[in-house]
Structure 1
Amino acid sequence: MSIVLHGSFTSPFVRHCRVALAQSGLHWAFEPTSSADATAVTPAMRVPFLRADGRLFTDSSVILQYVRERQGRRFLADLEDAQLYHLANAALDSAVNLFLLSKNDRTPDNTPYLKRQRDRVVAAISALADAQRPDDGENDAALRIACFVDWARYRKLYEIEQPSLLSSLARLNQDDAFASTHPSRSDTAP
């Protein structure tokens, strides 16, 4: 049986999948793949995507669910976890889009819709900082939040200085599966 994760080293969505796979004990491989290359393979036209069991999984959340189920675990243990995971995911989607569009001079300063996206990210950061959340290194809500925070800091997009977010990130960085996948470590394969 072959499990191959395709994606970029800097994508926070790919990072979360890499962490989950590293924690899983499953045999898997990582294939660096650009978003441009993904357009020929997946209708989602983005990374990550996963080939496993003769199937193609085209979204990080579905990939995580597949990995956790293979471990005999539930993906997102309860509604509170789901709420935090999806809030972080929405903020991350907006932040990634803002980052990519800024490369083409599309910014919140000149596009009202993008201002709303920026406001969503800022509001989500505040809500995530105030939320009660687990710091368990295998909790997917905590991991998604940490991947978001670390990526936003790496890209220098947002001043994220909330002590609760930084202390959670520091705890997760003690886990080698998380720390070894930091976007700056693009030379490290799983």
Structure 2
Amino acid sequence: MELYGSYTSPFVRHCRIALLQTELECEFIETDATQSAALSPTKKVPLLVDCELTLTDSTSILTHLYELVGEGFLTDLEEVELYHMTNTVLDACVNLVLLEKFDGITAEKSVYLTRQVGRIETGLAAINDKTLSQALPLSQAEMRLAIFLEWGLFRSKIALDNFPALQQLLDLAQTDPHFAQTAPKE
């Protein structure tokens, strides 16, 4: 198996954590935006190649990895909701980062990006009100949330001052060896 991605992508990080958890053999191939555009029909990372199988989305990759070891992925409706709500907020943050990086557009110059900032704030507030784990192991949805939170802080796109439950979850996640080992770095 080969996983293509970057060390900073939160979507790739979740796949890297899954590989550590499952102990599956897989080569990680660092890939930039230009390379991913050539490799993947979706022009993004992660990309997993497993023999004849090619997967182009982190959720399908995660599902495949856990199925290979006989485990389910997102088997509870509340977990599915938290996972997808987190992805919605994460996608809004990704929009902010990429439009600023590639086009120089910030929320101050864009009605669309201003809406994304609002989506991030209301999404974080709603997730902060949910019941989250107080001990390891985190659920898959909570792992995705913790990955997003650390990435959002790393990219300076969120603050957790007003979200104590989210800060508590991130603090807990940072005690997980696989989470700590895969922390984003430039």
The two structures have a TM-score, normalised by structure 1, of 0.91
- Measured in 2, the distance between the counterparts of 1:108 and 1:178 equals 30
Residue of structure 2 equivalent to 1:131: 130
- Measured in 1, the distance between the counterparts of 2:120 and 2:152 equals 10
Residue of structure 2 equivalent to 1:159: 159
Residue of structure 2 equivalent to 1:81: 79
Cα contact 2:46–2:56 (8 A) shared by 1: yes
- Measured in 1, the distance between the counterparts of 2:10 and 2:125 equals 19
* Residue 172 of structure 2 corresponds to residue 171 of structure 1: yes
Residue of structure 1 equivalent to 2:144: 144
1:122-161: CA deviation from partner (whole Å, max 9, x where unpaired): 1111111111134543521011100110001111111123
| The one of 16, 19, 35 aligned to 1:18 | 16
| Greater helix share, structure number | 2
Residue of structure 2 equivalent to 1:39: 37
- Measured in 2, the distance between the counterparts of 1:95 and 1:112 equals 15
- Measured in 1, the distance between the counterparts of 2:18 and 2:138 equals 7
- How many residues align? The count is 183
Q: Which runs of 4+ in 1 moved over 6 A?
A: none
**SS at structure 2 position matched to 1:5:** strand
- Measured in 1, the distance between the counterparts of 2:47 and 2:132 equals 28
Cα contact 1:23–1:138 (8 A) shared by 2: no
- Measured in 2, the distance between the counterparts of 1:53 and 1:72 equals 19
Cα contact 1:7–1:32 (8 A) shared by 2: yes
Q: CA deviation at 1:47?
A: 0.5
5+ residue gaps, structure 1, are: none
- Measured in 1, the distance between the counterparts of 2:181 and 2:24 equals 18
* Residue 186 of structure 2 corresponds to residue 182 of structure 1: no
- Higher mean C-alpha displacement, 142-151 vs 97-106: 97-106
5+ residue gaps, structure 2, are: none
- Measured in 1, the distance between the counterparts of 2:172 and 2:138 equals 12
